[in-house]
Structure 1
Amino acid sequence: MNGLKTNNAPHIGVVVPHFIFGAISFFIVAIMLVFSSSSLLEVYFNTKLIAITHMAILGWATMIIFGALYQLIPVVFETALFSEKLAKVTFWMAAFSVLFLSYSFWVASFTMLLPYASVCMFISLLFFVINVLLSYRKSELKNMSSKFVIAAIIWLLLTELLGTLIALNFKFNFFSEAHIHYLKIHATIGLIGWFLLLIIGVGSTLIPMFLISHQLNFKKLKASFYLINGGLLGIAINWFLINNSILTGICWLLVASGVLFFVSFIFDSYKKRMRKKLDVGMQYSLLAIVSVLLPIIISSVLIVGSNVEFQLLSRIVVFYGFSIIFGFITTLILGQTYKTLPFIVWLEKYKKLVGKTKTPLPRELYSEKIASIQFYLYLGFIIIMPIGILSNNLLLLKIGSIMLLLVTILYNINVFKIILHNVKPIKNE
């Protein structure tokens, strides 16, 4: 945990607002899902589902990642963030853009609101990309973790550029193919290029740190980096220019192999750990690493599933998206929130008291009981929802949505408990 402590860390006012907005967005996602559970049973290109997806991806996951990455840049790059002022401007513009964009999808305003919302979102993400790249430019450390982060940043820019073009195409109609074709590319490079690569880059630093693991084989990370990036680049070029199914399968195999190398790296870290007892944060994190295998299995079904009946194929696509957004990304973020946010706040509140008086541990800033209940509720959610999606059962989806709502309430309680923590030094006897 001391690896997060660095003199180059940004002011807490840069980091914490992202966690606040992300937590509230997570709650909003659950509310949206409760009121539109039936959208999961419709074709995957429907306005309510797209609105929920963008709120989850941009408002919840990306905002939390932005905040965490600002704190971790000094750890991964060993240099200070280029501009804290730019980071604050980025936050407010991104927060506005997320709400604007999600609302545009929710009300299906594809020609009136969506183009402007997309441009706002693109500019805010461009500010973030510039800030991170200029931070990396100052860094003398060029290890595999930092390379994963930079590759993810570049894929984020490409993802948002394509997303903006898709949105503008609704108004100006300049693409030759149907929107859904480009949406497939947009989603793939976003989920794999941005989220997966970033999570591998940050996770390969944090998870061994939290497990206290040493003597790991970093050649596995190198193989993972080149396989995933090479495969994803091949998929993107193929879908844009060639659209050959055999080439898609080969490139997807490269991506899957890269993911397996990362999973193997984490498994080695787990086996060599010095910290044997896993807290709730690490339980979430390791569950997420195991869960990343599910999208690989589902994607292989989709690649060879051209003869599958359309209704079933549509449900499999929704299940695939669910497995990435909730099975992998959200699970990992929930876990890492309990590992990073308490320490960030603890460091700000108690750094001047260390050595002078007894202080609480970072994990004492939140309720472990609430976190434990939240974990089991979430476990139930990620089991029930896929069954509801695949069996076309609206009742199960309603139950799962309510479980997610309870999870978000408990998560928000703990997040605000951490952030609003009052200093309580304990005098040494």
Structure 2
Amino acid sequence: MISNPSAAGPSRLPLRFLLTGIAMFLLFQIASVATGAGWTGLSPRNPEGWSAAHLMLLGFAAMIAMGAVYQLIFVVVQHSIYSERLGKWHYAFFLTGLSGLTVGFFLGNVALIALFATIAFTGIILFVWNIAATLITVKMWNPITLSALAAVTFLFFTGLTGLGMGLNFRFAFLGMSHDQWLGAHLWFGLFGWFGLLITGFSYKMLPMFFLSHGHNEKPARLTLILWSAAVVTGAVSSLLGLSKWMQWIALVLLTLALAAYCVQIHFIIRKKHKKTPGYGILVAVWSTYLLTGAALAFVAFAIWNPAVLSEQSVYAFVISLYLWNWLAPVILGYMSKIVPFLWWTLKYGDKVGKEKTPVMADLVKENHVKVLLSLWVAAALALLGCTAVGSELAVQIAAGVWSVLSLGYMLLLARVFTR
């Protein structure tokens, strides 16, 4: 039976997801270094390419995101998760599913892909149920909670389209529409789930880190509406095989959403009472400005040269920009604060005032974060530039450097758990 929701404090459940995400990230980067970043020379439409993509996106990004949701839901609504037990079952199903999917894609085994896609989707259903039930229980509706609800809704459709493609590998019932499902899968997952989750929880985290109060929240509501409209437009147009101009409209809506999000960030920073929130948070903000500028440039370029809307390489570049120059640096930037906060709260929170405890800043040195994250961002930009030039050797070198720096940064964060 599902446990009743309570107003108890945060649990160790987020830590389970966080540690697993860190381990998956380290696994990916170790394999990348060992193979000379060989994944960069592969088409994503390749068993090893799919395996690498799912290890990063499900193993690292989704695990970290789910753990953050379990932690931040408590911070936002001051109410524990609907069911701790359901969260543990979610973890077990999702970890089993993503592990099997990664192996199945690597081996090109369609039976494994179909089986573990089903298991992973079961975990997603449990997660969506848990978060939706929590939000409905507390009935606290604002841009943060509405964005979280929209994000997990899009996660459900990400899992549903992924499950459909996974079963299609085994039973071949989609025919020529497999690629259309893939397009919807990317819109629901990359832009819907990750995008709305990051923007939504940023409305809570950025004011916390900047000590900002009394800022205008209207752009946050506009961001939610425009971002959701972009995802629905992009996903539906992909599923139905509509004109490429519908994809352009979706990108326009997403660009407008990003612009509104930047305005919201500006309002938050304008009301700050803290000089700097930490270098990791600044990287998250700068990455958002970079993505917004690039989106504006691409939308304008598509008007001047509509042919780009039909070039798959262009879409691959756009997704790479979104992943490596926004999604990844935002997650890593926030982790520089979330990891020490979560560990300090769990290990020392009940000891404050009773015995001597370290301050949170002692768990990870800001100067170390600044150096490693700066080098990481430079390597990510270099990787993007080499990808645009099309030099395979340059891409592999840049990816190799990026992987080494990724290992260094993640080990820096992992060291927190020894303090």
TM-score by length of 1: 0.89
1:186–1:176: structure 2 CA closer, same or farther, 3 Å change rule? same
CA distance in 1, matches of 2:147, 2:290: 20
The one-letter code matched in structure 2 to 1:63 is M
Q: Look up the match of 1:324.
A: 322
CA distance in 2, matches of 1:134, 1:395: 50
Give the conservation status (yes or no) of the 8 Å contact 1:148–1:197: yes
Give the conservation status (yes or no) of the 8 Å contact 1:77–1:141: yes
CA distance in 2, matches of 1:299, 1:181: 22
1:358–1:114: structure 2 CA closer, same or farther, 3 Å change rule? same
Larger RCO (CA under 8 A, 6+ residues apart)? 1
Deviation per CA, 1:276-331: give whole Å up to 9, x if none: 13422223322332233256257635788663599xx4443332222122211111
1:390–1:248: structure 2 CA closer, same or farther, 3 Å change rule? closer
Q: Look up the match of 1:245.
A: 244
Q: Look up the match of 2:191.
A: 192
1:50-199 pair list within 5 angstroms: 50-109=50-109, 111-199=110-198
Give the conservation status (yes or no) of the 8 Å contact 1:25–1:60: yes
1:318–1:9: structure 2 CA closer, same or farther, 3 Å change rule? farther
Q: Look up the match of 1:348.
A: 346
RMSD: 2.4
How much has 1:207 moved relative to structure 2?
0.7
1:237-316 pair list within 5 angstroms: 237-241=236-240, 243-293=242-292, 296-297=295-296, 300=299, 307=307, 313-316=311-314
1:324–1:141: structure 2 CA closer, same or farther, 3 Å change rule? same
1:30–1:319: structure 2 CA closer, same or farther, 3 Å change rule? farther
Give the conservation status (yes or no) of the 8 Å contact 2:90–2:126: yes
Q: Look up the match of 1:373.
A: 371
The one-letter code matched in structure 2 to 1:142 is W
Give the conservation status (yes or no) of the 8 Å contact 1:83–1:131: yes
The one-letter code matched in structure 1 to 2:371 is I
Deviation per CA, 1:157-193: give whole Å up to 9, x if none: 0011001101111221222434222211211121111
Q: Look up the match of 1:408.
A: 406
Match of 1:336 among 331, 334, 337: 334
1:91–1:309: structure 2 CA closer, same or farther, 3 Å change rule? closer
1:140–1:62: structure 2 CA closer, same or farther, 3 Å change rule? same
CA distance in 2, matches of 1:298, 1:45: 27
CA distance in 1, matches of 2:356, 2:288: 36
Deviation per CA, 1:32-91: give whole Å up to 9, x if none: 444274554554422222222211111001101111111111122332101112212222
Q: Look up the match of 2:3.
A: none
Give the conservation status (yes or no) of the 8 Å contact 1:319–1:390: yes
Give the conservation status (yes or no) of the 8 Å contact 1:366–1:414: yes
> Which structure's residues are more often helix, by fraction?
2
Q: Look up the match of 1:393.
A: 391
CA distance in 2, matches of 1:358, 1:224: 44
CA distance in 1, matches of 2:256, 2:174: 33
SS in structure 2 of the partner of residue 352 of structure 1:
helix
SS in structure 1 of the partner of residue 152 of structure 2:
helix
Give the conservation status (yes or no) of the 8 Å contact 1:20–1:415: no
Deviation per CA, 1:360-385: give whole Å up to 9, x if none: 22121123343233212212211110
1:139–1:100: structure 2 CA closer, same or farther, 3 Å change rule? same
SS in structure 2 of the partner of residue 185 of structure 1:
helix
CA distance in 1, matches of 2:11, 2:387: 43
Deviation per CA, 1:337-396: give whole Å up to 9, x if none: 111221121122222332344532212112334323321221221111012211122332
CA distance in 2, matches of 1:120, 1:151: 23
CA distance in 1, matches of 2:211, 2:138: 25
Q: Look up the match of 1:28.
A: 27
The one-letter code matched in structure 2 to 1:226 is I
1:368–1:219: structure 2 CA closer, same or farther, 3 Å change rule? closer
CA distance in 1, matches of 2:265, 2:345: 27
1:356–1:135: structure 2 CA closer, same or farther, 3 Å change rule? same
How much has 1:130 moved relative to structure 2?
1.0
Give the conservation status (yes or no) of the 8 Å contact 1:22–1:59: yes
CA distance in 2, matches of 1:298, 1:123: 40
How much has 1:120 moved relative to structure 2?
1.1
The one-letter code matched in structure 2 to 1:99 is S
CA distance in 2, matches of 1:38, 1:383: 19
Give the conservation status (yes or no) of the 8 Å contact 2:50–2:105: yes
1:104–1:299: structure 2 CA closer, same or farther, 3 Å change rule? farther
Q: Look up the match of 1:425.
A: none
How much has 1:7 moved relative to structure 2?
6.4
CA distance in 2, matches of 1:365, 1:330: 22
CA distance in 1, matches of 2:188, 2:303: 16
Deviation per CA, 1:241-264: give whole Å up to 9, x if none: 360233333333222211210111
CA distance in 1, matches of 2:361, 2:413: 12
The one-letter code matched in structure 2 to 1:279 is G
Deviation per CA, 1:111-131: give whole Å up to 9, x if none: 221111111110111111111
Instruction: Work out the number of aligned pairs and report it.
Output: 412
The one-letter code matched in structure 2 to 1:115 is A
Q: Which moved more, 1:161-170 or 1:285-294?
A: 285-294
- Could you tell me the percent identity over the aligned residues? 23
CA distance in 1, matches of 2:272, 2:69: 24
